[in-house]
Structure 1
């Protein structure tokens, strides 16, 4: 009998501007782990939960929007989205999230509510199913565990 093809559900993990600089950029706020380190953590935990992780990063808002649309077209289970500074400015990301049926969980390494006032408003959070913030790289793992219960 042949093995069935992998039936792992795919989770998109989308990362916005400046997250390519994790580990270098303000480690006192964002920690010393790189985006590759976080991808490795998510791959390991994803396998345990039966998920395939598709991790992406772009400094361009349009790429994030296109990937949200793609998530819908590809039928992914969920999207973890760390939109970086676009969180606080992008009505377009808000609208893209609202336009798809795929659950989106907003993720942040830091707690934006403990930071500058301009970071307290989240257009992404207004459209997302939920938000996980303030746990450093573990915020992604908490979000992934939440997806496993959807």
Structure 2
């Protein structure tokens, strides 16, 4: 089981408990693809991150994190270790604040970041919330899996 828990500075998301089967790749990414309009069913047991209602807004529309691609990265278990690999996402995938360029083994207490924070500037549209500018940042917990 791969558990991903949001940490400070992350786009908000409920903790994910993703069951891993031998050599089955799980895509981590945005549940809503803004370009194609495709929507995937996000759940606590898959890799799709659902739009969230802005915390300071009582009636605003749900928003998604802009740094998160629809197919951002992939995780899998090979029977001994859990791995992550970036899928050529524009904002990158990071493990313990190091951008990964190849496959990287994960272990409990690693921090993964899907994307980079986007700074607000004079060109940022007014309807973009501060939450949308945040990447997904999660603490990794591996349960029932051997890893080094």
TM score, norm. by length of structure 2: 0.29
The structure whose residues are more often helix, as a share, is 1
More strand as a share of residues: 2
TM-score by length of 1: 0.29
